[in-house]
Amino acid sequence: MESRNSRPVIAAAIGLALAAGSAVAQSPAPDTPLRLSFAEAISRAAGTAPSVRLAGNQVDQARARVRQTRASLLPDLSATGSWVSQTLNPQAFGFSSSQFPLPRVLGPFDLYDGRLRLTQTLFDFAARDRIRAARTQVTGAQADSDLTSESAGQLAGLAYLRGVRADAQVAARRADSSLAAELVRLAQAQKDAEVGTQIDVTRAQTQLVAAMGALLVARNDQRRTRIDLARSLGLAPDAPIELTDTLGPSLAQADLPDGRDAQVSGALERRPDLAAGNARVRAARQAAQAISAERLPRLDLAAGYGTSGLAPLDGTATRMVAVQITVPILDGFRREGRRAEQELVVQGTELRNEELRRQIAADVDAARLDLASAGEQQAIASERLRLAHDELNQARERFKAGVAGNIEVIEAQVSLIRARDADIDTRYAAAVARVALARAVGVARMLH
């Protein structure tokens, strides 16, 4: 009676396990999924991610500031026209009524004036240095944009790796569920043959339920990784994505120089954050030079031409040409204070740049250590997985022969689950270490 009552439970559990294992394949996608390889995810994020587009906007702003700064050395042409109706008190201009028979108030009278004015700076060394600093800031903004592109590629790559790890975990949990369902059938068959016990069946059913729960968790994690990947690519969070790569040794590779010294040298040449730091140092020095150049004379040209008169058609042409030289002498030592402040800015940027150079070397060393450690752990995990399969096969044969209960099979099954997780984790850690090394060297956008 007990055996007959447990059969519906066993059938339902097996059916749920198989349904859970194939639910992803059976559920129709709302749209055609975007088939995406690892290299395509890197390229797409590095080129079109929202953060990359914002960084490009910052570069355009820096270029606009160059045009604004350069305007101080370009001609300035303006046109003005005016009409004035006024009265005058001649005594206000020094004319006395006792000397000249003038009325107390002259006017009202109209005055019309139209004029073109042109100003041109001939020599301004401070403006020249400010233009150079603005152009260097464009270089720094472009390096910052490259840094953002590197970071976006790295983030998308890591999101992709989390996605393929989640896929591997779902596949592992499906295999666990199938194995648990098979062990339930085996335990029930042993009990029906009166060589097993009900406790063996119960243990197997418990493992099946646990495997089903783990599969549900793995599938939820898989969906969450798709959301993270979609957001790193600038897509809608519900965009369907199909990953074409798997978590293997060929994933997340980049063309890197051999040897630690070569990789550090390559990083110092390629890292966009160091290029941005170098540009900031140059721009700070040029800004300091511009402040010092304010002590030098400035030469300007001004010209004007127009007509003025008491009626619009009765004007007289007039002109003006002037050359003006300005020699700064004393401004209350404000210029010296600004120069001292800017020198401190230069020192600060240089110190940050030196620290960044040391940090780059540390990043390369740390990534190399992680990659070497991941390779060693992966070899151990592969051997552990092989031994776990052997242990399970041997325990299952002993259970079928009636030599032992299925407690050994259950323990071997748990050991296999842990070995599968360890194998997935080490393969994922190795791929992450490869991404970290590529990022440390400055070639994250070239990962494939």
- Say yes or no to pLDDT of 343 above 70: yes
- Say yes or no to pLDDT of 9 above 50: no
Sole residue written with tokens 């098979």:
182
Question: Residue 313 to residues 5, 126, 316: CA-CA distances in angstroms?
Answer: 116, 45, 9
User: Is residue 23 situated within a structural domain?
Assistant: yes
Whole-angstrom Cα distance, residue 6 to residue 189?
Answer: 12
Q: Which residue has the higher pLDDT, 404 or 89?
A: 89
pLDDT tier at 23 (50, 70, 90 boundaries)? very low
**pLDDT at site 106:** 81
Whole-angstrom Cα distance, residue 259 to residue 276?
Answer: 26
pLDDT tier at 57 (50, 70, 90 boundaries)? very high
User: Is residue 147 situated within a structural domain?
Assistant: no
**pLDDT at site 3:** 45
Whole-angstrom Cα distance, residue 150 to residue 43?
Answer: 10
With the C-alpha atoms ordered 204, 209, 212, 217, is the resulting torsion angle positive or negative?
negative
Whole-angstrom Cα distance, residue 165 to residue 424?
Answer: 7
- Say yes or no to pLDDT of 102 above 80: no
Say which CATH number the domain at 293 has: 1.20.1600.10
What average pLDDT does this structure show over 404-426?
Answer: 89
Smallest CA-to-CA distance from 174 within 215, 206, 207 is with 215
**Which DSSP category does 257 fall into?**
-
Residue 370 is part of which domain span? 2-27+69-92+104-141+176-215+250-446
What average pLDDT does this structure show over 71-94?
Answer: 88
Q: Who contacts 244 (Cβ-Cβ below 8 Å, separation ≥6)?
A: 35, 36, 37
The vertex-212 CA angle with 209 and 215, nearest 5°, equals 155
Whole-angstrom Cα distance, residue 359 to residue 436?
Answer: 14
Q: List strands edge to edge, sheet with 106-123.
A: 76-88, 106-123, 298-309, 315-326
Cβ distance 38 to 148 under 8 Å? no
Smallest CA-to-CA distance from 324 within 124, 61, 90 is with 124
User: Is residue 272 situated within a structural domain?
Assistant: yes
**pLDDT at site 191:** 83
**pLDDT at site 30:** 52
Q: Who contacts 23 (Cβ-Cβ below 8 Å, separation ≥6)?
A: 219
Which of helix, strand or coil describes residue 34? strand
Give the tens place of pLDDT for each residue, 192-221. 887 778 888 888 888 899 999 999 999 999
Q: Lowest-confidence range among 193-207, 244-258, 317-331, 412-426?
A: 193-207
pLDDT tier at 4 (50, 70, 90 boundaries)? very low
**pLDDT at site 356:** 94
- Say yes or no to pLDDT of 187 above 90: no
Whole-angstrom Cα distance, residue 81 to residue 87?
Answer: 20
Cβ distance 152 to 272 under 8 Å? no
Q: Who contacts 151 (Cβ-Cβ below 8 Å, separation ≥6)?
A: 51, 444
Whole-angstrom Cα distance, residue 356 to residue 280?
Answer: 13
Cβ distance 117 to 303 under 8 Å? yes
Whole-angstrom Cα distance, residue 97 to residue 4?
Answer: 135
Q: Which amino acid is at 309?
A: G
Q: Lowest-confidence range among 14-28, 233-247, 408-422?
A: 14-28
Give the tens place of pLDDT for each residue, 296-311. 999 999 999 999 888 8
User: Is residue 224 situated within a structural domain?
Assistant: no
Average model confidence (pLDDT) across the chain: 87
**pLDDT at site 313:** 81
- In this structure, the number of other CB atoms found within 10 A of the CB of residue 410 comes to 20
What is the count of structural domains for the chain?
1
Tokens encoding 433: 């270490």
Give the tens place of pLDDT for each residue, 349-392. 999 999 999 999 999 999 999 999 999 999 999 999 999 999 98
C-alpha Rg value of the chain to the nearest Å = 40
- Say yes or no to pLDDT of 139 above 50: yes
The H or E element that residue 23 is part of is: helix 2-26
Task: For 140-203, give the DSSP string.
Answer: HHHHHHHHHHHHHHHHHHHHHHHHHHHHHHHHHHHHHHHHHHHHHHHHHHHHHTTSS-HHHHHH
Residue 326's DSSP bridge partners are: 298
- Say yes or no to pLDDT of 74 above 60: yes
User: Is residue 182 situated within a structural domain?
Assistant: yes
**pLDDT at site 204:** 86
User: Is residue 153 situated within a structural domain?
Assistant: no
Percentage of the chain beyond pLDDT 70 is: 92
Whole-angstrom Cα distance, residue 295 to residue 286?
Answer: 15
**pLDDT at site 165:** 95
**Which DSSP category does 253 fall into?**
-
Q: Is the peptide bond before 312 cis (omega within 30 degrees of 0)?
A: no
**pLDDT at site 385:** 92
pLDDT tier at 123 (50, 70, 90 boundaries)? confident
User: Is residue 148 situated within a structural domain?
Assistant: no
User: Is residue 168 situated within a structural domain?
Assistant: no
Q: Who contacts 202 (Cβ-Cβ below 8 Å, separation ≥6)?
A: none
Smallest CA-to-CA distance from 229 within 221, 437, 423 is with 221
Q: What are phi and psi of 129, to 5 degrees?
A: -70, -35
The pTM (predicted TM-score) of the whole model is 0.81
Within 13 Å, how many C-alpha atoms sit on residue 23's CB side? 16
